[in-house]
Amino acid sequence: MNKLKNDLLLRALKGETVERPPVWMMRQAGRYLPEYMVLRRKYDFFTRVQTPELACEITLQPIDIVGSDAAILFCDILVIPQALGLEVQMVANKGPFLPVTTTTQADIDRLTVEGAEDQLEYVYDAINLTKKELNGRVPLIGFAGAPFTLLCYMVEGQGSKAFNTAKQFCFAQPELAHQLLDKITTATIAYLRRQVEAGADCIQVFDSWSGLLSESDFKIFAEPYLLKIANALSPSVPVILFPKGSWYALENLSNSSASALGVDWCVNPKLARSLTQNRITLQGNFDPNHLLKPIADIKREVHQMIDAFGKDRYIVNLGHGILPNIPVSHAKAFVDAVKSYPNR
């Protein structure tokens, strides 16, 4: 394995003192990049995900084009439901669609956890290839969806504003919900271990919908499974947990085996630090819609954000994925602002 030339991300995850924080952007390999759009027009979504050469090419694009300090594998959180035996379609202008939902004991019994991770060899191949192509330039982040978020899609069968059906499943049939969450968790741990074996330097777990839960429901349906995953992987590989919207969980999770917590823009840096008391690295939290502001404003706001979080134990990121209509020059300005820190 090549030694990393840029190990800022890993040093920030260890809590080491750094000259400036590392920066990457959620969905940095995505629709705002014209180079990605070329591939998107040529290959459908799961072809891009399942072809290691394409996944690798897409993963590298933002490293070459905007200069992020970390690559994150181009993949999807719904490969786990697929590996468990479910069909997942990606419908144009609608998003994911699962024709068969998981809402009964029989549905759950049908999910095959044993060897599910072996269905996803293409992911490990893509990681392998990407590590080779990166040649130590920056670390590679592997990832998975958190169990509660995957449950949301598996029960609801599609995206939703409030995932009421999924939440009602949890509240009305908690025993089934925990069975399902257990199965997802087991498969996810095996999957992430294989990602690490293949070369992932760090793992991020996306709980994109945990913020729909109250603090007490988060403790029942999200937190235990996040902790199980973090405990299974740490300390051999650093784990970033991103329970989007669940600012109330920061204090508890800062005492976990995770190396970092992602935060969105709905919690201000000062409060996030006060809840976590510098026990853990924080990652976030620029509202991607601010990237439509003039470049001078972006630069100023990024510097203010770093000042507010502090440059150590901090990874600069957005609070959610970058949006398709952000000009590449503005995405690059975001990254460059971090690289110029602390010079105004």
Applying CB under 8 A, the residues found at the interface with a copy of itself are 159, 161-162, 164, 167-168, 171-172, 211, 213-217, 245, 248, 265-268, 271, 287-290, 292-293, 320, 323, 325
Least distance between a copy of itself and beta carbon 212 (Å): 8
In the complex with a copy of itself, the residue whose CB is nearer, 51 or 173, is 173
What residues act catalytically?
27, 31, 40, 76, 153
329 HSE (CA, 13 A, CB side):
4
Least distance between a copy of itself and beta carbon 247 (Å): 8
Amino acid, single-letter form, for residue 129:
L
In the complex with a copy of itself, the residue whose CB is nearer, 194 or 330, is 330
Residue 312 burial (C-beta neighbours within 10 Å; 0-12, 13-18, 19+): middle
In the complex with a copy of itself, the residue whose CB is nearer, 84 or 306, is 306
| Contact call for residues 98 and 154 (beta carbons, < 8 A) | yes
Contacts of 149 (CB under 8 A, 6+ apart): 77, 206, 207, 208, 209, 210
In the complex with a copy of itself, the residue whose CB is nearer, 266 or 296, is 266
What is the rounded distance in angstroms from the CA atom of residue 118 to the CA atom of residue 92?
28
Least distance between a copy of itself and beta carbon 264 (Å): 9
Least distance between a copy of itself and beta carbon 320 (Å): 8
In the complex with a copy of itself, the residue whose CB is nearer, 214 or 329, is 214
Least distance between a copy of itself and beta carbon 190 (Å): 31
In the complex with a copy of itself, the residue whose CB is nearer, 20 or 320, is 320
What is the rounded distance in angstroms from the CA atom of residue 261 to the CA atom of residue 302?
19
Phi, psi of 316 (to 5 degrees): -75, 130
In the complex with a copy of itself, the residue whose CB is nearer, 97 or 248, is 248
Amino acid, single-letter form, for residue 180:
L
Least distance between a copy of itself and beta carbon 16 (Å): 29
How many helices and strands, by DSSP H and E, does the chain display? 16, 9
Least distance between a copy of itself and beta carbon 137 (Å): 32
Amino acid, single-letter form, for residue 98:
L
Helix (H) or strand (E) holding 76: none
Q: Angle of helix 174-198 relative to helix 121-134, nearest 10 degrees?
A: 40
Peptide bond into 285 cis (omega under 30): yes
Q: What number of residues does the chain have?
A: 344
Peptide bond into 81 cis (omega under 30): no
Peptide bond into 224 cis (omega under 30): no
Alpha helix stretches (DSSP H) within 8-110: 8-14, 34-42, 45-50, 52-65, 79-83, 105-110
